């Protein structure tokens, strides 16, 4: 699973962090999504899918 984020689309809702805190964070300066380093562990895949589904800006994408 490869996760990408488009920070220019992010609206800083934080729903991704709530869904998958082991994969996403928010920048201190503007609240936009930050993708944490490393590939998400398999145990986090469903949470990542939830983050994609609940992102109001469509800023997160997943590729298999």
CA distance linking residue 13 with residue 30, whole number of Å: 11
What residues does 33 pair with on adjacent strands?
26
Q: Write down the pTM of the prediction.
A: 0.93
Per-10-residue mean pLDDT for the chain, 64 residues long?
A: 96 98 97 96 96 98 92
Residue range(s) defining the domain that contains residue 11: 2-63
Contact between 36 and 59 (Cβ < 8 Å):
no
Q: What is the CATH number of the domain that holds 34?
A: 3.30.70.20
Q: What's the total number of domains in the chain?
A: 1
pLDDT number for residue 64? 82
28-44 pLDDT, tens per residue?
999 999 999 999 999 99
pLDDT number for residue 1? 86
pLDDT number for residue 28? 97
Handedness of CA 15, 17, 13, 3 (dihedral sign): negative
């Amino acid at each position: 699973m490869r996760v990408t984020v488009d920070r220019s689309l992010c609206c800083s809702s934080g729903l991704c962090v709530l869904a998958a805190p082991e994969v996403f964070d928010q920048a201190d300066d503007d609240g936009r999504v930050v993708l944490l380093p490393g590939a998400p562990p398999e145990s986090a895949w469903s949470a990542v899918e939830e983050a994609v589904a609940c992102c109001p800006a469509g800023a997160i994408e997943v590729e298999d």
